Amino acid sequence: MSARERIRYMRVFVFFDLPVDTAAQRKEYRLFRKYLVKEGFLMLQESVYAKLVVNDAQANAAVIRLRQHRPPAGLVQALKVTEKQFAGMEFITGSRQSYSELDTLEEFVVL
């Protein structure tokens, strides 16, 4: 397998709707959100996070880890898309703020 075949950039999206009625539920929400950030997911919108991975195997591993850290209640969904599909996203309202995203294909980011 060549290097080009192994690197197929993908995005893993996580959509979640968790209950926050009780103190225990709010704690579970905070813990899940902290887990996502620790795993390298970036917030796109409230309750919508995405992570850049280099191939399908990494995407599958990220989904497996999500299953292991899922909260006890609520809905959590994962979606894998190629980087080409992600780049075709249309912004209906608002715009993409280039300074707000550090998750790029560039090898080096100067902060």
Residue 17, annotated ligand binder?
A: yes
Q: Residues with Cβ < 8 Å from 49, sequence gap 6 or more? A: 13, 14, 36, 41, 42, 43
| CA nearest to 62, candidates 71, 52, 72 | 52
Strand ranges, E, within 5-87: 10-17, 42-45, 48-53, 75-82
Nearest residue to 74 via CA among 37, 21, 35: 21
Q: CB–CB of 38/32 below 8 Å?
A: no
Binding residues: 17
Binding residues for Mg(2+): 17
